[in-house]
Structure formats: structure tokens, C-alpha cells
Structure 1
Amino acid sequence: MLNYRQLHYFWSVARTGSIARASEQLNLTPQTISGQLSLLEAHLGVALFRKAGRQLELTEAGRRALPYAERIFQTGAELEALLRHQPAEQPVLFRVGVADVVPKSIVYRLLEPTMALAEPLRITCREDKLERLLADLAIQRLDLVISDSPMPSHLDIKGISHKLGECGIGFFAAPALAAALEGPFPACLTGQPVLIPGADSVVHKRLLRWFDEQQVQPRVVGEFDDSALMQAFGQSGAGVFVAPSAIAEEVSRQYGVQCIGQTDAVSESFHAISVERRTHHPAIVALSEGARRDLFHHTAP
């Protein structure tokens, strides 16, 4: 591994043009600097300087190395200045990955308690496919992943699932479509356009199975990985759409739609996946406690 102290001596000699002047700046003896330069050249297997009268000049290898040394020590100076001038109270960084199948309203309700913490917090959210998020969690690019499923058993990735809660699903329709439905729920869905979560969602197969069990035959006109996009289509009247019953009021209010029915026979569960069995991050603790206390009626131990 490169010895950065020796590299610093090289950089100083290259800038001053002589070991004597570099030794004055660094408050070291010329013998110390000369010896360390020799060790650096031996480690690299190249000569970095050659004598030019009483001065030293860079060899071709030295000229190539100097710009890299300049950038290294410039970056080091910037880092030192940054850390020395930090505000007294730094916000805690909370990096959250959100599986794209999780409804955005659920994500907000889950994260809402973290914003009330006494300790300053800065949240960064990234939405993606679950497997890519878990890969980033494993290398500590994320603190937490929110998903509609626990940690997949087939992935060779370290992660612990914490069940946040579970709820049924509600069915929503724009006012004009809701008025056109005939008969009791769920029979009124037969022949009607419906929008459902995509195949990556846990609820997808459960919902289709429930339609069969209820002998309901709707027209599936759209499947969506992105819940917000599905809700936007539903708001326009493109079809009846589903959302977790835990956020039924928010969905109705936000999109101006009506809840035409709900069922607990098709349930959605939500999970926080972290790399530790016991969570210590204050935001994860607040999220977990808030979910069990305020958002879901049924929680896991």
C-alpha cells in the first residue's frame, strides 16, 4: 500500500525544487526526507527525481506522479477544512430505500414520526427494485429498506426483516365510475375495468385469487409497479384501483375518489429491512414504534 507520508515528502520536494527547502518547510532533517524518498522509490520501483546541478528535477515517472499527488493533498486540505468548520449540531443522515411497489402514502406515514425527532435529521429516499436496494443495504449505502415483503430467502445478502404491520385492501373509484357500478360489493366489479399492482407486488397473486374465490370477473385493464401511477390512472376514471386500507382516508381525500369496498381476505404487510437484528438508529426506532402505534391495527411481535 502506498505510504502517503512518503508521498507528501515527494510532493513537497517537487514543489520546492530541493530537499533542503522542503526540509525547512516540513521542519525535518534533509536526511529524513532523503531516506523516505528512497523508500518510496524502492516501493514503486521507479526513480522520481534526478540531480540537475544542485537542484533536483522530476523524472518522467515523477512528472506523471505529481498531478496525482497534487489532487490527493488538495482533496485532503478540502476535507480538513470541511470537518473543522462543521456546525455544532449536525443532522443525522437517514438513508432509506423504498421498494417501488410500496404505496407512497404508506412511505410518508411510516417516515412521518422521524421528522418529529428532537435530534436533527436529514432523510434521503431512493426508490428501486427490492434486490438492488438490498445490495446497497449490504454495503451500507442505505440504513433501511421499506418493502411489502420480508427479506427474500434466496438472496445471499445479510439483512434482518422487522414486520411493521399488516392491513387489508380497499377498492377505490372516481365518482363517475363509482356511480356506474351496480349491485353490492364485490359483485359490482364484474365486467368493470380494474387497475392492479404489478406482478412484483406481493398482493398481485392474492388479489387475482380472491377474484376467483368471490366469482368476480373484472376486466384488468392495467398493471402497475408504481402505485402512484396506478392511483393517477384511477383518479382519471380509467378503472377501479386498490390501496392499503390503512390509508383509505388519505387516498380518498388526495385523489378525490370513493372507497367502494374493502376486504381483509387480501392483506398487505410492510417490512423494514436492516442489517442489524436490534435497531439502534433513532429514526428506525421512531419509524417502527409509529407504525405499530398509529398506522396498523395488526402487528407482529
Structure 2
Amino acid sequence: MNLKHLRYFWVTARAGSVAAAGKQLHLTPQTVSAQIKLLERDLGTTLFIPVGRGLELTEAGRLALSYADEIFALSQDMVSSLRATGVKEQAAATFRVGISNVLPKSLSHRLLLSLRKSAKPVRLVCRDGTIEALLGELALHRIEMMLADRPMPAGLAVRGHSRKLGESALAFFASPRLARQDAGFPACLNEAPLLLPGQNAAVRGEIDRWLGEARLYPRVVGEFDDSALMKVFAQAGEGYFPAPAIISDEICARYGVIEVGRLDDVRDAVWLISTERRIQQPEVDAVLKAARSAVFNIPAGSETAG
């Protein structure tokens, strides 16, 4: 694929018409149109359809634009990094991390804080999403590593490596006006409104199992794939909710809730997943060490691989 053709397509998609793109590129509209036709021929698909006096992207065109955005962003990163080699002050290297949306944001921040304190400047790029989407990004090397609540599933055509950073007991929280004073934990959950992580969260099955074994029957009023959104609902007094006990103080201070009890036999884990070629990167090693010592209080050398 000719990157010059791709650039003409990219500018045209952003400008909305061949004429506008031609002005930006200092080329005639005929030249731009011809170059885009060559790209469409190479790709074997149509990227634009005429709409009035402008152009509209096809489904293939929208997909191509998303890749082109990343390609030219990376090219700009390359230019910036190469130009910085002659400067005494070292340019910050970009390090891309995927974060599963079921992980608490404050815990993710604590795990990645070590990258901001490294001797080598790092520009951190965080991408939030489902574990399935992030594994796709990892396979295409669009991210260097990812944080998730489970290891990489078996059977994937990705040569990857999973390491457990640590685990925490599960605590339950509620706004002060909702927390029942007449019943201790866990009886206070019975028939009470409950906010839960979505079915994609690894800990969800353990919570459901525990509720059944304890013969507790709360009213599940909400399920959330995004842990931060669940806490916002709880802050408004919508229900009790679970979260890792290791960040209890931060949750209570930020959302104005109180901890009503915790379960030592239900554990919420955090895993670091990277492709095999990334395992030895100093940034990955920094996250591993910070998680073991500062976050989970695990002695060095006792991490779990998967």
C-alpha cells in the first residue's frame, strides 16, 4: 500500500470533499481523486460515496480512517522522537497501556504511578475498554501491556504472558443515609438495593455464589461494566456496591460512602498481560515491582505467572 495514497484519503476524509483536500495538499482535485482511486483499487473496496457536493465514508472507509488516524499519529511520534535525539533533554517515550473498564480507576492509577516516577521520561497513553477489545489491541501491538481482572484466556492465537499483580478481599460500601444501622453485615444486604459489576467482571460469579450460599436476597437495581459509574450511582444513594478492600480509604474519601463490611474469602485479582516480546521492557517491570511492594505488599520475587 502506498502511504502517499493513504494520506490523500486521510486528508479528504477529514476535509469532507476532494476540493477542500486539494487546497490543503496544494494539488488539483483531479490529482487527489486519482490517487484515492488507486488506493481503492489496491484495497479492493470503495472508501467514499458522493453525497450532494461532498463525500461520505463507506463502512470500509470508516474502518480505514480509524487505522489511518493511528498510522499518522505514530508517524508524528516517530518524527518527534527522532528530532529529539539531538537535544540534551531526552524526549518522553510513549508507552501505551490498556485498562479493563471493570478495574477501579484509583487502583489502576496506583499501579501505573511508578511510570511517572521513572528516571526515563514516559508519556503514558491509557486506553479503556473490555478485555476482549484490549486483547485485540495487544495482538496488533497497539498497546504495550494491559491491566485486567483475569489472565489471558487459553486458546487465543496470541503469544502472550499473564502475571498476577496481586489480589484483595472484597468490601461492600453504601452512602451513610442508605447503610442500615439496625442490621450488621452481611444481613444488611438482605432485600437492600444492590449495585453489581457486569457479567464480564471476573469477580461477579464469586459474588453471586457467595450471596446464594449466605442465603441473602438483595434487590439488584443496577449492573455496570464501568466501575467508576457504579460508584457514582452509589454516591447518590442508589444502592450498596462491592469493591476491592485494598482501596477502601480512597473510595470512602472520594465518593462519600462508608464501608459496611468485607469478605476475606471472595478475592478480587489484578493481572498484567503483555505479549512475549514486551515482558522485558523496563516499564512493564516497573509496574510489576510497584504492584508487589507498594500496592499489594507482596515480597519481591513472589509474583504469579499465568
Q: CA offsets, 1:4-46, max 9 Å, x none?
A: 9xxxxxxxxxxxxxxxxxxxxxxxxxxxxxxxxxxxxxxxxxx
Structure-2 residue corresponding to 1:165: 166
- Quote the Cα distance in structure 1 between the aligned partners of 2:230 and 2:94: 31
Q: Which amino acid aligns with 2:146?
A: V
Which residue does the alignment assign to 1:85? 83
- Write the distance in 2 (CA, Å) between the matches of 1:198 and 1:222: 9
1:175 alignment counterpart: 176
Aligned to 2:22: none
Consecutive unaligned residues of structure 1, counting only runs of 5 or more, are 5-59, 69-74
User: 1:135–1:157: 8 Å Cα contact kept in structure 2?
Assistant: no
- State yes or no: 1:124 paired with 2:125: yes
Q: Where do residues 52-201 of structure 1 align in structure 2 (5 Å cutoff)?
A: 85-86=83-84, 87-88=87-88, 89-178=90-179, 180-201=180-201
- CA drift at 1:213: 1.3
RMSD: 2.9
Aligned partner of 1:85: which letter?
A: R
Q: Which sits farther off after the overlay, 219-228 or 128-137?
A: 128-137
Taking only the aligned residue pairs, the percentage that are identical comes to 39
Matched residue type, 2:126: C
Give the Å deviation of 1:300.
Answer: 3.9
Q: 1:81–1:297: structure 2 CA closer, same or farther, 3 Å change rule? A: closer
Distance 1:186 1:135, change over 3 A: same
Partner of 2:248: 248
What's the CA shift for 1:83? 6.2
Measured in 2, the distance between the counterparts of 1:82 and 1:257 equals 45
Structure 1 runs, 4 residues or longer, greater than 6 Å off: 78-81
Q: Which has the larger radius of gyration?
A: 1
Q: In structure 1, how many angstroms separate the alpha carbons of the residues matched to 2:119 and 2:286? A: 11
Closer, same or farther: CA 185–279 of 1 in aligned 2, 3 Å: same
Q: Which amino acid aligns with 2:294?
A: D
Q: Distance in 1 between matches of 2:210 and 2:174?
A: 19
Q: Distance in 1 between matches of 2:260 and 2:281?
A: 40
**Distance in 2 of aligned mates of 1:278 and 1:82:** 23
**1:247-266 → structure 2 map (5 Å cutoff):** 247-266=247-266
TM-score, L = length of structure 2: 0.70
After superposition, the C-alpha distances for 1:247-299 in whole angstroms (9 at most, x for unaligned) are 11110111111000001111111111001277222221111111110212466
Provide structure 2 residue ranges, at least 5 long, that are not aligned to the other structure: 5-29, 39-71
Over 3 Å counting, the alpha-carbon distance change for 1:128 and 1:191 in structure 2 is same
| Residue correspondences, number | 234
Which residues in structure 2 correspond to 1:215-230 (within 5 Å)? Answer: 215-230=215-230
- Superposition TM-score, scaled by structure 1 size: 0.71
Q: Supply the distance in 2 between the matched residues of 1:243 and 1:260 (Cα, whole angstroms).
A: 12
Tell me how far apart the structure 1 counterparts of residues 210 and 235 of structure 2 sit (CA, whole Å).
24
What is the CA–CA distance in structure 1 between the aligned matches of 2:266 and 2:80, rounded to whole Å?
52
Q: Distance in 1 between matches of 2:113 and 2:81?
A: 30
Q: Deviations over 1:122-180 (max 9, x none)?
A: 000001111121111112110001100000113222211011001111101101012x3
Alignment-mate amino acid for residue 143 of structure 1: E
Code of the residue aligned with 1:245 in structure 2: it is A
Residues 82 and 229 of structure 1, relative CA distance in 2, 3 Å threshold? closer
- Distance in 1 between the 2:176 and 2:280 partners? 46
